[in-house]
Chains A and B, each alone.
Chain A
Amino acid sequence: MISNTPSKLKNTASHEWVKAEADGTVSVGITQHAQELLGDMVFVECPAVGRKLKAGEECAVVESVKAASDVYAPIAGVVTAANAALDNTPENINSDPYGSWMFKLKPDNAADVNSLMDATAYQAHVDSEAH
């Protein structure tokens, strides 16, 4: 499979992408691979601003025509923003997964993001799941 994971982003085993923003928050969305597996998105539910999340906690939901899938907090932190625009345009996750952030977190510990997978490691993870 051709790698299409942007090199600047970090990724989780549960197929979220994580981008460190200049203001110290991180943006979170689902990867190209995840949107491909799920197919046409029809519903997105983002976590409430102010919610405290543990790493790995279920905090959002994406639903395609086919299935519902949980989205997990990649690292511990507090939700600072949710992308309300996706309420009416969930299909943007299909057309532009890396432009469609779902929520932003202020990490409890800024260094936690370094523990996530880089593009190469994530691609290897995706390939291993395909077998």
Chain B
Amino acid sequence: MTLKQTPLNATHRAMGAKMVDFGGWDMPVNYGSQIDEHHQVRRDAGMFDVSHMRVVDIHGEGVRAFLRYLLANNVDKLQFSGKALYSCMLRPHGGVIDDLIVYFMSEQWFRIVVNAGTADKDITWMREQAVAHAAQLKITSRDDLAMVAVQGPHAQAKVWQVLPQTKAATESLQPFQAAECGDYFVARTGYTGEDGFEIILPATEVTAFWNALHKVGVAPIGLGARDTLRLEAGMNLYGQDMDETINPLEAGLAWTVDLKSERDFIGKAALLANPATRKMVGLVLLDRGVLRGHQQVHSAQGVGEITSGSFSPTLEKSIALARMPKEVQIGDTVQVAIRDKMLAAKVVKYPFARNGKGLGHL
């Protein structure tokens, strides 16, 4: 099968990227040292090509009412243009179809950004639901757009250096807010635990934008560091920490599910009928080794499993997210099966790191 390419593919190769198959996309995993790239984002500024993610625009009368029913989080929290919300989209049985960010632009236009590997099934699902509940809506997959995330303590200043025309509209943005600046859609969001912007722009302009950022000292960052950054920041990865067999209450995402209001949404009845028996916790390995996804975790309350694990460059320890019996407590010591050994790990709250610093669990 031919791998899909973003408009920056040749640029990544010219910058020395090691390319890998990421869910059918030919993407940069690193441009040298993954650990250096990780620190670059925590300490300065880095840029990620996230053009494989899909922008979906929904236009028409009654978008809000439709999304109120489609999404597990409540779009009524979005009360001014540019405000963003993180949400899961659920099957009726409560499993997670995808996690996404939805932006309220106007009562006739909401923008949604979904994961790359799930984009086609997401859009199919959205259209099926629209046919049944809001046939007047127009759902458009914006394959003409690219997306670059610029993240790190100096990310905003670097973006303003390259795009001075966006500064006035974006300098007052709070986290989880976006502004339209001509052809550029600039959101103060990200997947690293650092400040910065995610910028959606015409695919035809992304190479010039990328090169301009590079010129002002923003380093390219691969998917390898993107994964360790998001893990330290305690952010879930779809397909690893949750999928259609897992409901959000057992994926550490109860805070994104609105079960209190009267509002009905797809999956609500299943969530109410099936109280969570497991929960997500953070783990820090006490022994030497590296925690990885699918390793079994033994506790006094039963067995769980690591969903995401790696080495944390910021903490210089191995960390993980694990789904455990809900009786497991913060501070407990558990045993992780790694090859032929059982290694001790401590159950901790996550995130593990934010804004350049480890959060000091040990």
Q: With A and B bound together, what is the CA distance between A72 and B266 in angstroms?
A: 52
B301-322 vs A, CB cutoff 8 Å, 1 = contact: the mask equals: 0000000001101000010000
Cβ of B35: which chain A residues have Cβ within 8 Å of it? 40, 65
Q: Is A66 an interface residue (CB 8 A)?
A: yes
Q: Are B311 and A42 in touch, CB under 8 angstroms?
A: yes
User: Number of residues in A with C-beta < 8 Å to the partner?
Assistant: 12
Cβ of A87: which chain B residues have Cβ within 8 Å of it? 288
Cβ of B29: which chain A residues have Cβ within 8 Å of it? 66
Q: Are A65 and B224 in touch, CB under 8 angstroms?
A: yes
Min distance, Cβ B311 to any Cβ of chain A, angstroms: 4
Interface residues of B in 268-313 (CB under 8 A from A): 288-290, 292, 310-311, 313
Q: With A and B bound together, what is the CA distance between A39 and B30 in angstroms?
A: 9
A-B contact count (CB 8 A): 35
Q: Are A43 and B224 in touch, CB under 8 angstroms?
A: no
Cβ of B33: which chain A residues have Cβ within 8 Å of it? 39-40, 94
Interface residues of A (CB under 8 A from B): 39-40, 42-43, 45, 61, 63, 65-66, 68, 87, 94
Interface residues of B (CB under 8 A from A): 29-30, 33-35, 224, 228, 288-290, 292, 310-311, 313, 318, 339
Q: What would be 24 A-B contacts, judged by CB atoms less than 8 Å apart?
A: A39-B30, A39-B33, A39-B224, A40-B33, A40-B34, A42-B311, A43-B288, A43-B289, A43-B290, A43-B311, A43-B318, A45-B288, A45-B289, A63-B289, A63-B290, A63-B311, A65-B35, A65-B224, A65-B228, A66-B29, A68-B290, A68-B292, A87-B288, A94-B33
Q: A43-B290, A87-B288 are in contact. List 20 more A-B contacts (CB 8 A).
A: A39-B30, A39-B33, A39-B34, A39-B224, A40-B33, A40-B35, A42-B311, A43-B288, A43-B311, A43-B318, A45-B288, A61-B339, A63-B289, A65-B35, A65-B224, A65-B310, A65-B313, A66-B224, A68-B290, A94-B33
